[in-house]
Amino acid sequence: MLIKSLCLIGICTVLSYSIFPTCWYKIKQRRNRSGRKDSKVYLTFDDGPHRQFTEKLLDLLKKYNIKASFFVVGKFAESNPDMIKRMKEEGHLIGLHSLEHKNALWQTVGYTNKDFKESEAVFNRLGMDIQFFRPPWGHFNLDTVYCAKRMGFKIAMWNVMAEDWKGNTTWQEIAAKLIRRTRAGDIICLHDGRGTNNAPERTIRALEEVLPVWISQGYQFARMDERYESDN
């Protein structure tokens, strides 16, 4: 009986600490999509910056004069300050995607506080005022929510993914998913870092095909801060 009671307490603790907050934000994002009238598409990129891939992606966005939102990993940003500088100079939004890309579902209160504190220090050294936060995998715990609000971050989720991080997907499959799944007003989550088997290379190749299609369909592109302003 004691073991069963302890197990039940443990399950309830996990549910209330991490599962419920994660489900809440994902449900909230789906509700925000419903009935929304918006002529814009919001391109967002996670897991960078990456020395090889982010440079190519920035070149592609510059070609079409598209402003996007980059949710960067703190330690990767600190290792690539020139990439952060270029993002800023070319008009992209920069947000936080955690310090080390660890899953909030399994992190302690102590680590979560360290994650935000050290991330803030990284961006202070880079001279950046970060206003947006996206957790890895879209996973929260209660302390993630608390720290984000304490630091004044706005939470940025997404509506559309193309599973572009998978090692066994092709650029053609990514492109087809993006065209099929996207409509005006959507927030699209892609990746310019991490992934399996040089996954961001295929993401960039897919965008080379998809961006002209979207433009021909009349889509405009905007940053997440513009989306937030239109919602409030």
Active-site positions read 46, 191
165 and 189 Cβ atoms separated by less than 8 Å: no
Can you point out the beta strands (E) in 66-125? 69-72, 93-96
124: left (phi over 0), alpha (psi -120 to 50) or beta: alpha
The token pair at 149 is 């609000």
- The count of C-alpha atoms lying within 13 angstroms of the C-alpha of 126, restricted to the half-sphere facing its C-beta, is 28
DSSP string spanning 153-190?
Answer: PEE---SEE--TT-TT--HHHHHHHHHHH--TTPEEEE
Whose structure tokens read 């572009």?
A: 164
203 and 189 Cβ atoms separated by less than 8 Å: no
37: left (phi over 0), alpha (psi -120 to 50) or beta: beta
